[in-house]
Amino acid sequence: MKALVLHHLNEFPSLDENYANPVPEKDELLVKLTYAALNRRDYWITQGQYPNIKLPVIMGSDGCGYIGDRRVLLYPAIGWGSNKRHQADSFQPLGMPKNGTLAEYIAVQPSYVYDAPDYLTDAEAACIGMAGLTAFRALFSRAELRGEDRVLINGVGGGVALMACQLALAAGCEVHVTSGSDEKIDLALKLGAIAGYNYKKENWHKSVIKEGIHFDVIVDSAGGPGFSNLIKIAAPGGRIVTYGGTHGALQNLNTQIIFWRQLSILGSTMGSPTEFKELLHFISKYQIRPIIDRLYHWDTTDQAFEALRDSHQFGKIVFSLQ
């Protein structure tokens, strides 16, 4: 089969046209994949910025495909466990160390296979997995989002942030966004966000404060020095969820604001099978369509990883595996 295999760090994965087809172990199902989607994690792995990297590996955590006539998508968190608060030690996202979705076939346990929502294309269904799961747990399980909350999505271009934006809008929330790109802000406004702020403008948060705006829920994956501004624009009882740290450690967080406003800073990563089921139910209920930035093919895989590296996308970077 064709597969996209990472052989060495600091390179992009390369096409192997004659990779051995996976042989399902006793209970496993063989899925013929049609589309896969990339995640920021895939880029970190190519850069060696991930713990316990084992090579070579077929990359990819998200995919849509077929088991006979049954159209399925994959739950991407292997060995999550049963504790509501956190994943088990055995947890590993699909696509390293276990071979992932950037191939024509994958063998998985039946419990990792879900029916793809009818109204989505294969390519759209392939986008849901990791981004949807991460956004869903962050918003609903961790931040306990409700329709009356005012929400800020910090850095709206990426897969999780954009899905969080769509989920919060569907939940009935007033959604604000930030981005370093005015174009991405415009796209988010078209989706239904009510306001956007370009974080490249120094002290952008002060204009928010001046307008008397505070946020009940803030979603962030940047971390770094800018996180201290998020504390300042959080409402009393506010929840700030962090699922990444692109800009490094959190600095200079004002404790007095944190305790006096009863703020919660909540770490979150991916989610449980139960949360995945709830996510699929939620997006079907509101007929949410994941946003695809661009579609790539077997002959444009380098361009796909360059796009992932450069973070200019608005929505998911998707592979056709056909």
- What is d(CA 289, CA 23) in angstroms, rounded to the nearest whole number? 33
Q: Is 321 helix (H, G, I), strand (E, B) or coil?
A: coil
Q: At what angle do helices 129-136 and 159-170 cross, to 10 degrees?
A: 50
Q: Is 248 in the site for a second copy (CB under 8 A)?
A: yes
Closest to a second copy by CB, 14 or 311:
311
Of residues 132-171, which lie at the interface with a second copy (CB under 8 A)?
A: 142
Residue 16 backbone phi and psi in degrees, to 5: -115, 115
Q: Looking at beta carbons, which pairs linking 65-68 to residues 24 or more positions away fall under 8 Å?
A: 65/31, 65/32, 65/33, 65/34, 65/35, 65/106, 65/122, 65/321, 66/31, 66/32, 66/34, 67/29, 67/30, 67/31, 67/32, 67/113
**Which is nearer to a second copy, 56 or 245 (by Cβ)?**
245
Cβ at position 226, least distance to a second copy in Å: 12
Q: Contacting a second copy (CB under 8 A), which of 194, 213, 258, 295?
A: 258
Assess 262 for contact with a second copy (CB under 8 A): yes
130 binds a second copy (CB under 8 A): no
Positions in 74-93 near a second copy (CB under 8 A): 83, 85-87
Is residue 259 involved in binding a second copy (CB under 8 A)? yes
Q: Which of 189, 195, 253, 295 binds a second copy (CB under 8 A)?
A: 253
* 264: contact with a second copy by CB under 8 A: yes
Q: How many residues bind a second copy (CB under 8 A)?
A: 35
Number of Cβ within a 10 Å radius of residue 145: 24
Residues 195-234 that bind a second copy (CB under 8 A): 223, 228
Contacts with a second copy, residue ranges (CB under 8 A):
83, 85-87, 142, 223, 228, 236-237, 242-245, 248-269
